[in-house]
Amino acid sequence: MNRIRIVFLTSLLALISTAVMAQAASAPSAPAPAAPASSASAAAPADKPPADEVVEINPKDPLMKAAFKKTQATLDTFLKTASDKSQKLATAALRVKVKQGRKVDYLWVTEFSHKGKRFKGSINDAPRHVTGIEAGQDWVFTRADIVDWMYIDASNVMHGNHTTCALLAKAPPADTVQMKKEYGLDCSK
C-alpha cells in the first residue's frame, strides 16, 4: 500500500477542513445570546475539542450521513475490487470510526483483511482524540465501524472517498479543483 499517498491525502483533507471552518467562522452571523451568569464559571467539558481545533468529520452533517450510507451500500463491491489481484491497485483503504468513551477519531486503515463482518488492518493516521493508538498499529474492527473506503487504481484515479466528497461540497472551489485534478476524484459516482 502507498502510505505516502494516504498521509498526503489526510494532510490535504485537514487543509480543506481548515479552510471550510475558516469560511464558516468569517461568515456573518447573528450575535450570540449572552450566557447565563451561572454558566460563566462552568468549565468546558474535557472531551470537547478547543474551538480552533479542526474536526475533520462531523457525523451529524447531512452530507456526511449520506456519505456513510453510500459507503455501507457500496462496501461489498469495494471489497471485491480490493481483493482482486488483477486490479493492480496503487492504494486501497478503509476509514473506520474509532471510539474511546466519548472521544472519536475517523482513521484510515490499510493492509486490511476480513472474515465475515470482522476486519483487521493497519492504522494509517495519527489519532487526534483517542489515546493509546498510533499509526502502523494493527486494529480490529467490524463492518459497522466502516464509514468510508477508497482506492487509487493503476491509472492514478481515485474511487470512493465519500467523506472527502462531502467535505469538498463545502470547500473553497480551488481546493475542490486541486483534489479532483490531483487524484481524478469524481464525486458524482
Give 150's DSSP letter: E
Given a cut of 90, is residue 18 above it in pLDDT?
no
Highest mean pLDDT among 31-40, 41-50, 130-139 belongs to 130-139
Number of structural domains (the chain) is 1
Residue appearing with cell numbers 481546493:
175
Evaluate whether residue 89 is within a structural domain.
yes
- Give pLDDT tens digits for 95-112: 999 999 999 999 999 999
The band of 179, judged by pLDDT with boundaries at 50, 70 and 90, is: confident
Whether 101 contacts 47, CB under 8 Å: yes
The band of 20, judged by pLDDT with boundaries at 50, 70 and 90, is: very low
Report the predicted TM-score, pTM, of the whole model to 2 decimal places.
Answer: 0.72
Evaluate whether residue 61 is within a structural domain.
no
Evaluate whether residue 34 is within a structural domain.
no
Whether 112 contacts 121, CB under 8 Å: yes
Evaluate whether residue 55 is within a structural domain.
no
Evaluate whether residue 109 is within a structural domain.
yes
Which structural domain range is residue 137 located in?
1-22+78-189
Evaluate whether residue 53 is within a structural domain.
no
Q: What's residue 9's pLDDT?
A: 55
Evaluate whether residue 51 is within a structural domain.
no
Closest CA to 177 of 3, 7, 19: 19
The band of 51, judged by pLDDT with boundaries at 50, 70 and 90, is: very low
Evaluate whether residue 158 is within a structural domain.
yes
d(CA 28, CA 30): 7
Residue 130 or 33, more confident: 130
- Give pLDDT tens digits for 106-152: 999 999 999 988 999 999 988 999 999 999 999 999 999 999 999 99
Given a cut of 60, is residue 43 above it in pLDDT?
no
109, HSE (Cβ side, Cα atoms, 13 Å): 26
d(CA 95, CA 166): 14
